[in-house]
Amino acid sequence: MGKPVLLSVDDDPGVSRAVARDLRRKYGEDFRVLRASSAAEGLDALRELKLRGDAVAVLLADYRMPQMNGIEFLEQAMDLFPRARRALLTAYADTEAAIQAINLVDVDQYLLKPWEPVEEKLYPVVDSMITAWRESKDSAVDDVRIVGHHWSAPSYKARDFLARNAVPYRWYSVEEPEGQRLLAAAEARPGDVPVIVTPAGTVLRSPTPTELAAAVGLDVEPRTDFYDLVVVGGGPAGLGAAVYGASEGLRTVLVEKRATGGQAGQSSRIENYLGFPDGVSGAQLADRARRQAQKFGAELVTARSVVALEATGSSRTVHFDDGSSIAAHAVVLATGVFWRSLGAPGCAELTGRGVYYGSAMTEAAECADQDVFIVGGANSAGQAAVFFSRYAKTVRMLVRGPSLEASMSHYLIEQIAQIPNIEVRTCTVVDEVQGDGHLERIVLRDAVGGGTELLPASHVFVFIGATPHTDWLDGVVARDERGFLPTGPELLADGRRPPGWSLDRDPYFLESSLPGVFVAGDVRAASVKRVASAVGEGAMAVTLVHRYLEER
């Protein structure tokens, strides 16, 4: 790998030369300074850099370029180099451009032309971006390589884990020459897949999520054994609690089993979240929230499973599956929900081999010119249908009910109706999935008439129901008949406090049946299943944590 790159993109030749000249003057010894005269030329350069394994530290793009403006360029550049720091060059303070840049591509800085004197207006901005890039843990692991088989469920899980945790990687099939060369160099066999090769040359064969997370630089161990606040779950509610807890001075740790963002992190586009008029992907929203929590000092521990919660005097202890534990004054449970299993014959055997739960956006390229099926009729299913319609020949939405109106937002229904290659099939259920080693066919049944139909299929994405995994809390906090966690007023049956309640007050609004343990987001009984409400509950839970701590 050569020197990291500073890339400027501007269609004005004079400005382009001036930017490159000023950047080389100060940074030329440590960085390679490149320039492009159009967004298309810039993207071509980035693709070449990606293939060669080079790192890109900073991107500077002029806002007003023909064909593709600076915002559109930076948005596409993020797919290639998500950890590069980004700045927009503007000729004047363009409020609309600034709002678009914030909403779409999380621009780090703005530079107004002209930027003289460079010592005051240019270099401090670039210095801060270079510092942020160097401090990013992911910047050291942008050459993780995965060797696997497309229809291998463990290979899919490894790719999905890295993608959802915003860890850049390169994928090589065992069937292509480079994949075979990597296997030979690692002294591994095709049966060992997935084989992970880190930039340091460490080889992992079929690693566990914790082993994989540690190898690519994610934090898997808490730094201490006692905190003010432990947040269990890294979806919107958990991230909201972590941001507000850490920003208000609480020693906060967030523990996540898979990846921050939860189900929302898999959404290809969230268009009804406040402050994002052009929409935002779940991955981008989760990445911003993750960085925001870390900015305020919250610890984020990934790939760790919480298996028990215990009241130990005035403390609350969280136990991990490896026998270790951490304790805190208070706990926020934000474990969210999981997609319910499809349950049709063949699904268990073909999960990760054509049958996927959630969007599985790493499969998008493989859906090109294919017939894709989306099972479900709520917003997540609709967002996935819109996303995969850009790649697939056809997208068929399979909805058990008679229409989408009862479960999907109106704006999304209208959007789906305008996309010609999306077909909505109501009153339809999946009877069976079939295939030899991977999905090949799907059997559909008319929920009204009972007739069946056999169709070819390569990918089925399932978005049905919501199941909370709260068995590990049985006997510790109250659960309802479906496993959700009631809080506050819902615990006051006939005006009486929950059994074992030890305080001379009623539970706070988001407090569980165990004092000092709060619940936020989808796992809470009677919660509103929306990203905005989950974030709000996470913030509200921290306010109630403060109130709880003050009364101790």
**Using one digit for the tens of pLDDT, what is the confidence trace for 7-19?**
999 988 888 889 8
| Cα–Cα distance measured from residue 334 to residue 524, given in angstroms and rounded to the nearest whole number | 8
Q: Say yes or no: 402 and 304 in one domain.
A: no
| pLDDT digit string, tens, across residues 495-520 | 889 988 989 999 999 999 999 999 99
> Is residue 33 located within the same domain as residue 131?
yes
pLDDT of residue 514: 97
What is the pLDDT confidence band of residue 75, given thresholds at 50, 70 and 90? confident
The CATH number given to whatever domain includes residue 420 is 3.50.50.60
For residues 457 and 521, membership in a common domain is answered with no
Residue 253 has pLDDT above 90, yes or no: yes
23-32, 97-106, 138-147, 275-284: range with highest mean pLDDT: 23-32
- Per DSSP, 257 falls in state S
Instruction: Give the start-end residues of each E strand in 278-324.
Output: 299-302, 306-312, 315-320
The secondary structure element, H or E, covering residue 204 is strand 203-205
Weakest-pLDDT range from 30-39, 130-139, 199-208, 431-440: 130-139
Residue 132 and residue 57: Cα distance in Å, rounded? 9
pLDDT for 552 equals 78
Asked, for residue 220, whether it belongs to a domain, the answer is no
Give the pLDDT confidence score for residue 141 in this predicted structure: 38
Using CA atoms, how far apart are residues 47 and 38, in angstroms rounded to an integer? 14
The closest alpha carbon to 430, from 531, 364, 340, belongs to 340
pLDDT of residue 283: 82
Tokens of 313: 């005097």
Percent of the chain with pLDDT over 70: 95
Kindly list the distances between the CA atom of residue 165 and the CA atoms of 15, 155, 358, 463, 466, in Å, as whole numbers in the listed order: 37, 16, 15, 21, 22
* Residues 23, 106 within the same domain: yes
* Domain hosting residue 315, numbered range: 226-338+467-550
Residue 221 lies in a domain: no
Q: How far is CA 71 from CA 89, 96, 97, 389, in A?
A: 10, 11, 8, 23
pLDDT above 90 for 300: yes
| 363/328 same-domain check | no
Domain-ending residue, one of 175, 190, 215: 215
pLDDT, residue 185, reads 81
pLDDT of the residue at 168:
83
CB neighbours of residue 518 within 10 Å:
33
pLDDT in tens, 397-418: 999 999 999 889 999 999 999 9
Q: Which residues contact 496 (CB under 8 A, 6 or more apart)?
A: none
Confirm if 399 and 376 have CB atoms less than 8 A apart.
Answer: yes
> What digits encode the pLDDT tens for the residues 212-240?
999 999 999 999 999 999 999 999 999 99
| DSSP secondary structure of 74-89 | HHHHHHH-TTSEEEEE
| Count of structural domains within the chain | 4
State the chain's maximal CA–CA distance in angstroms. 77
384, 440: one domain: yes
In the prediction, which pLDDT does 103 show?
Answer: 61
- Six-digit token string for 289: 């929230």
Tell me if 423 sits within 8 A of 397, measured CB to CB: yes
With beta carbons less than 8 A apart as the criterion, state whether 81 and 4 touch.
no
236 and 329 inside one domain:
yes
Under the banding of pLDDT at 50, 70 and 90, the label for residue 323 is: very high
pLDDT > 90 fraction of the chain, expressed in percent and rounded: 60
Q: Is the pLDDT of residue 356 over 80?
A: yes
Residue 60 lies in a domain: yes
Phi, psi for 171 (deg, rounded to 5)? -105, 130
Same domain, 129 and 9: yes
* 456 and 471 part of one domain: no
Q: Among residues 190, 215, 240, which one ends one of the domains?
A: 215
pLDDT, position 158: 94
Cis-peptide, bond into residue 117, ω within 30° of zero: yes
Q: What is the pTM of this model?
A: 0.75
